[in-house]
Chains A and B, each alone.
Chain A
Amino acid sequence: MKVADLLAARSQNWAELQHLCTIMDRRSKSRIPPEAINRFAALYRSACADLALADAYHLPPNTVAYLHQLVARAHSQLYRSRGIDLGQAIKEIFVNTPQRLFADNALRLAFLLFFGLFFLAYYLAFYMPEFADSVINFDGSTTQTDSLREMYSHGFDDGRDWWQSSSMAGFYISHNASIGIVCFASGLLFLGVGGLPTLSFNAIFLGAVFGYMDTTPQAQNFSEFTTAHGPFELTAIVLSAAAGMRLGFSLLNTGELTRMASLRKCGRETSPMIAAAVVLFIGAAVIEGFISPSALPYAFKAVVGAGSSAILLFYFIFLGWPWNEAKAKPAPTEFPAGSWEYAVSRS
């Protein structure tokens, strides 16, 4: 068969495959008639065969380049990523993740570091005013402590109007969650300890603020303000730092995997952690914007604080507890459906 004839015979098929790819790019699969999908599969197989035999057919190089592009395009239509499996996602969020977190040394380390430094700074600031001064006025000014006292000198009788509450909630979401994400991402730097400066700074600064405020006459107002949103916010920063740390450590302690494979596996495993941290940051921001500064009675704010603590305890301790040893083992890494390498690596 002559190349010219072959091209004349096949170019029709290739153009049709090209056309079907364009249609599939634009429309959802469910709206494409089944005959067209069948036809697509057949055309894809024949294009694959043509590419495989391109050399033997003596196809010109630009035709081969065209076939490479065509097969690639059809391939990415045929082997698409699976949509999110709801049952799998729920199992991942409520079973696998808490258990992984419960046994996670990075999380324990981040937790101890954060609250260790927090209470250390608290007692130092409480008993040594000059320590509080130097930490809170870390930028060299002398006004931070004054403005803190000023901020909490009013009671909560007036509450806040809609503009203030919602704007502050927006600010907290944008600002705090961004800090969390950056803290997570910088865990990848410096082999896992990249997020620790952010974590330690926040622990020492917050500890100093708490310690300092407890020595001032505004202590009552301050603790009333922080009660409701504290549990979510502090947990979120610890969680994001721990996720970042895990990511960095996966490069050092690779188990039996290569360094890159270990990093990829850890990337999959830490994604629920950072998602949880972002959700907590947003929850904390909404509480901090609308409930904490409002004129609601203190009892209500305390109930919100206790309730959010209970949710966290339920998630991290109750769901995470290795109730039965077999379940406590980390779940095998999930491969996406249609992942043929998986089948190969198992055989």
Chain B
Amino acid sequence: MSNLGQQFDTAIDIVTPENIAFQYRLAGPFQRAPAYVIDTIIRSTVIVILGCIGAIAVQSAAPLLILHFGIEWFYGGVFEALWHGQTPGKRLFRLRVLTIHGQPINGVQAVMRNILRAADMMPAFDAARDVPVFGQFGYTFQLGILSCLLTQRYQRLGDLATGTMVVVEEPQRLYGVVQIEEPEAHRLAAELPAGFQVTRGQARALSQYVQRRRGFPWPRREEICRHLGEPLRQKFGLREGISYDLLICALYLKVFVEEHPDYLTSQQPPISAPNLPPEFRR
């Protein structure tokens, strides 16, 4: 609970039993709405098609009515229990339901949070309520949205009662070190003093810049790099008028590609995950 104190955007820290902190991105109500619409369409289609086939097959309206009941109430719960927190709509939009501790939800949580959606859907237009299948369009979802806005993990009432949250699983590709083609940068890198070490913040700034520099026109690159480049130029005693962009690239090459201080000899390995479990952090 208390690890929410440091949260300032949609990223939420999960501390694993290995004492590693990794991040999930929370899904807000409007990110979840498209998934719900898709699920609603799937649900209604299945009810109508299977229900009608069943009704003709057994000569009774019972299949239609029972399917309507079963699928309306248990579609989400069954899928989330079997697909580890995902329904077809959630899978399409890469959402997943987890417990607030970042662990997969169990069947009871899955079914309960879906049953309790009935409370989140309130208030409703009375006229629409009793229309089968399409009746759900009469619900305004205002309570659910309000509850999402008031809680830090964007939980609706059903999430609060079962201790769950919805996160986005962004697919990430692994990019290697950026290739720098300019020969000038490689030449400059050789000129830089051998023992120079950058701080962590500088290393982060370097890699962030080099990853994105291709998107900027030349004058803009110079403008961005001047703030770091000018002090570095003076420190290294390089000639005036040098391209700051290339200087930064050279430093990047030096730090990331050609030489890197062995962290074990220079300092103790830092611990990025807190030693205290989150319950005891204040």
A contact residues vs B (CB 8 Å cutoff):
1-4, 7-8, 11, 14-15, 45, 48-49, 51-58, 60-63, 65-73, 75-76, 79-82, 84, 162-163, 166-167, 169-171, 173-174, 177-178, 181-182, 184-186, 188-189, 194, 247, 258, 260, 263-264, 266-268, 271, 274, 336, 338-341, 344-345
What are 14 pairs between A and B in contact, CB < 8 Å?
A2-B260, A3-B255, A4-B176, A53-B272, A55-B270, A67-B22, A71-B16, A81-B84, A163-B60, A163-B61, A170-B66, A173-B66, A181-B118, A341-B101
Are A167's CB and B65's CB within 8 A? yes
Whether B161 lies near A2 (C-beta < 8 A) is no
Give chain B interface residues in 263-277, CB to chain A under 8 Å. 263, 267, 269-273, 277
Query: Given A55-B200, A60-B207, do A79 and B118 touch, yes or no (CB 8 Å)?
Result: no
Residue of A55, A81, A185 touching B119 (CB-CB under 8 A): A185
With A45-B18, A65-B172, A69-B170: A189-B161 Cβ-Cβ less than 8 Å: no
How distant is A152 from chain B, measured CB to nearest CB, in Å?
A: 22
Interface assignment of B52: CB less than 8 Å from any CB of chain A: no
Among A4, A11, A72, A260, contact of B160 (Cβ-Cβ < 8 Å): A260
**Which of chain B's residues have a CB closer than 8 A to the CB of A68?**
22-23, 172
Scan B155-171; emit 1 where CB is below 8 A from any A CB, else 0.
00100111100000111
Inter-chain contact A186/B118, CB cutoff 8 Å: yes
Contact (Cβ within 8 A) A170 B262: no
Q: Is the CB of A48 within 8 A of B18?
A: yes
Interface presence of B115 (CB below 8 A): yes
Contacts of B257 in A (CB 8 A): 2-4
Does the CB pair B106–A271 fall under 8 Å?
Answer: no
Nearest first, the 4 A-B pairs at minimum CB distance are A170-B65, A170-B62, A185-B118, A60-B207
Q: Does B59 contact A (CB under 8 A)?
A: yes
Choose one: B24, B122, B277; the contact of A186 (CB below 8 Å).
B122
Q: Is B90 an interface residue (CB 8 A)?
A: no
Q: B267 contacts which chain A residues (CB < 8 A)?
A: 56
- Cβ-defined contact, A181 with B65, below 8 A: no
Closest chain B residue, CB of each to CB of A267:
B161
Task: Find out whether the CB atom of B65 lies under 8 angstroms from the CB atom of A174.
Answer: yes
Residues in chain A near residue B259, CB distance under 8 A = 2
CB atoms of B177 and A4 under 8 A apart:
yes
Interface residues of B in 189-239 (CB under 8 A from A): 198, 200, 203-204, 207-208, 211
- The answer to whether A1 touches B203, judged by C-beta atoms less than 8 angstroms apart, is no
Name the B residues within 8 Å of A45 (CB-CB). 18
Q: Are A170 and B161 interface neighbours, CB within 8 A?
A: no
Docked complex Cα distance between A344 and B69 (Å)? 42
* A75 x B256 contact (CB < 8 A): no
User: What residues on B are CB-neighbors of A49 within 8 Å?
Assistant: 20
Q: Is the CB of A2 within 8 A of B258?
A: yes
Q: Are A173 and B65 in contact (CB under 8 A)?
A: yes
Set A52, A63, A65: member contacting B271, Cβ < 8 A? A52
Question: Are A71 and B163 touching (Cβ within 8 A)?
Answer: no
A49–B175 Cα gap in the complex (Å)? Answer: 19
Residues of B within 8 A of A71 (CB): 16, 20, 22
Whether B69 pairs with A173 at a CB distance below 8 angstroms is yes
Residue interface mask B89-113, A partner, CB < 8 A = 1: 0000000101001111111100110
> Is B282 part of the contact surface with A, judged by Cβ < 8 Å?
no
Q: Which of A54, A58, A167, A268 contacts B61 (CB 8 A)?
A: A167
Supposing A57-B263, A75-B22, A171-B61 touch, asked if A66 and B66 sit within 8 A by C-beta, the answer is no
Q: CB-CB < 8 A to B203: which residues of A?
A: 58
Contact A174 B66 (CB under 8 A): yes
B115 touching A274, Cβ below 8 Å: yes
Told that A60-B175, A69-B170, A76-B102 touch, could you supply 17 new A-B pairs with CB distance under 8 A?
A3-B255, A58-B200, A58-B207, A60-B207, A66-B173, A71-B22, A79-B16, A81-B105, A166-B62, A171-B65, A185-B119, A186-B122, A189-B122, A189-B143, A267-B162, A339-B101, A339-B103
B73 and A181 contacting across the interface, CB-CB below 8 Å: yes
Q: Is B174 an interface residue (CB 8 A)?
A: yes
Residues of B with C-beta under 8 A to A14: 174
User: B116 interface residue, CB < 8 Å from A?
Assistant: yes
Of B16, B22, B108, B255, which is in contact with the most chain A CB atoms at under 10 Å from its CB? B22
Identify A58's interface contact among B163, B174, B260, B273, CB under 8 A.
Answer: B260
* A61-B208, A75-B102 known; A11 vs B174 contact (CB < 8 Å): yes
Residue of A nearest to B199 (CB): A58
Tell me, yes or no, whether B127 is within 8 Å of chain A by CB: no
CB atoms of A62 and B157 under 8 A apart: no
The answer for the CA separation of A315 and B229 in the assembled complex, in Å, is 79
Instruction: Give every chain A residue within 8 A of B64 (Cβ-Cβ).
Output: 170
Q: Is the CB of A181 within 8 A of B115?
A: yes
Query: A178: shortest Cβ distance to chain B, in Å?
Result: 6
Residue of A51, A66, A178, A181 touching B272 (CB-CB under 8 A): A51
Select the residue from A56, A63, A80 with max chain B CB neighbours within 10 A. A56
Looking across the interface, which residue of chain B has its beta carbon closest to that of A185? Answer: B118
Bound: A58/B22 CA distance, A: 17
